[in-house]
Every structure is written in structure tokens, then in C-alpha cells.
Chain A
Amino acid sequence: QKEVEQNSGPLSVPEGAIASLNCTYSDRGSQSFFWYRQYSGKSPELIMFIYSNGDKEDGRFTAQLNKASQYVSLLIRDSQPSDSATYLCAVNRGRDSGAGSYQLTFGKGTKLSVIP
């Protein structure tokens, strides 16, 4: 099965710093990439999505995609204690994935801790 890999962390950064979260994927047919934030005990909430190589910015968040390297990242600028959560990377499966083609595969998430 195609995989999505994330460093489980915890990743600790001081308040105000840039947090960098990374994700690699194995399915070369993947075209859509999503980042979700999940607070402890809660459901995931969508932060950003990206389809094209390069950077996409939304407020303090920047998603970066490099399809050749099969790598997607999320940068959080000016990190706040409220950003402390687990960040899930999700990648859609290519059309050659058989049953479940086009569905999302989730990584296990990276736990981010922002230290005041």
C-alpha cells in the first residue's frame, strides 16, 4: 500500500519561531496534498491544501510541495502556544491505486509543542 511518512515528534519550538513539519509520500500518482491540525481528543481540522509544485501561503502558514522529490511540508511562522497540536499530512492516491483510488492516505502525524 502506498505510504505517507511523517516524523512523529514531538517537535518542540520556542514561541515566535518557525515550525517546519515534513511529509514524504510514495505514490507518484498523487496530485492533491492536505494538512490537518488535530488537537488532543478532537477531530482533524483542515489547515491548507496544495496541488502545484512550489509554495502556497495562508496567513502564518505556508505549504511547500516538491513532486519530483515526493515531499510536502508545512511551515508555521511566529508559532504560538495555541499551535501545539498534532499535524496530519494527507495525500490522495493516484488512479493506479486499485480499490480506493483517489482516496486520501493519512500519515500518523507530527506532534508539535510550542514552548512559551
Chain B
Amino acid sequence: DGGITQSPKYLFRKEGQNVTLSCEQNLNHDAMYWYRQDPGQGLRLIYYSQIVNDFQKGDIAEGYSVSREKKESFPLTVTSAQKNPTAFYLCASSMTGSGNQPQHFGDGTRLSIL
């Protein structure tokens, strides 16, 4: 089955710790995205990548980092600089990054502070 796999489903972060969220897709999509969703809020764009080995900051990139070394993978690191990391993190992909292709989402990772 083609799809987007995010892991882990739940993650807990200690103060001062960096944590990495995994996102893998087997849809052969060029573009991948990371969003953050807070309760009662829409999705906010953290980082996006339109092609392998390239990525761009989204609207709320501070305290986050990404890499795109393989087409299938787009991991997100939540660094200790992100002071309010508790949220639902969603990874998505689309055929291209042109903005006119539908984005498809993984099941998400819930991150909480210990």
C-alpha cells in the first residue's frame, strides 16, 4: 500500500532535549511538508521540500530543523530552542511542490513535554 508513515505516534521530550520525528513516503512524490497543529487551530507550515536535497522554511521554522537526503524521507528535529513544542505534528507529501497538487497526510505524531 502506498502511503506516508510517521513515527512514533507519541513522543515525549525532556527539557533541553532534541527529538526527531520520522516521515517516510512510498508515493514517489517530489514534495514533502511538515505542519504543526495546536488545539482548535489550523495547520501551520514549519518546513517544506520541493525536491531532494533542498528545503525551505515555512511560517514557523524557528526551533526546528529538517533534512531531505532521500526522496522518500523528510525527518523533522524539534530542538531545545523550540520553547513550546507540545502539538500534533503532521507530515504530508504531494506529487509536485507547485501548490496545485493535493497534499496527503500521514497519521501524525503527538509531542508532549515531560
B106 and A34 within 8 A (CB): no
Partner of B100, one of A32, A88, A101: A32
Which of A13-21, A67-75, A76-84, A92-100 participates in binding chain B? A92-100
Considering the chains assembled together, what is the distance between the CA atoms of A34 and B45 in angstroms? 16
Residue of A nearest to B59 (CB): A100
- Expressed in whole angstroms, the minimum distance between the Cβ of A95 and any Cβ of chain B is 9
Q: Which residues of A contact B48 (CB under 8 A)?
A: 103
Whether A44 contacts B98 in the complex (CB less than 8 A), given A99-B56, A100-B58, comes out as no
Q: With the chains together, A53 CA to B38 CA distance in Å?
A: 32
Tell me the residues in window 30-70 of chain B with beta carbons closer than 8 Å to chain A beta carbons: 33, 35, 40-45, 48, 56-59
Cα of A102 to Cα of B35 in the assembled complex, Å: 15
Is the beta-carbon distance between A108 and B102 smaller than 8 angstroms? no
- State how many angstroms separate the Cβ of A44 from the closest Cβ of chain B: 5
| Residues on the A chain within 8 Å of B108, using CB | 42-43
State the CA gap A32–B57 with chains docked (Å): 21
Among residues of A, the one whose C-beta sits closest to the C-beta of B101 is: A32
B102 touches A102 (CB 8 A): no
Whether A92 contacts B99 in the complex (CB less than 8 A), given A43-B90, A43-B107, comes out as yes
B43 touches A106 (CB 8 A): yes
Inside 8 A of A34's CB, which chain B residues have their CB?
102-103
Bound complex: CA A102 to CA B45 (Å): 12
CA distance A78 to B35 in the complex (A): 32
| A104 with B107, Cβ < 8 A, contacts A49-B102, A99-B56 known | no
| CB within 8 Å of A: which B73-111 residues | 90, 97-100, 102-108
Known A-B contacts A1-B59, A43-B90, A103-B58; A88 and B43 likewise in contact (beta carbons under 8 Å): yes
Q: List 5 A-B contacts (CB under 8 A).
A: A43-B106, A92-B99, A99-B56, A103-B45, A106-B44
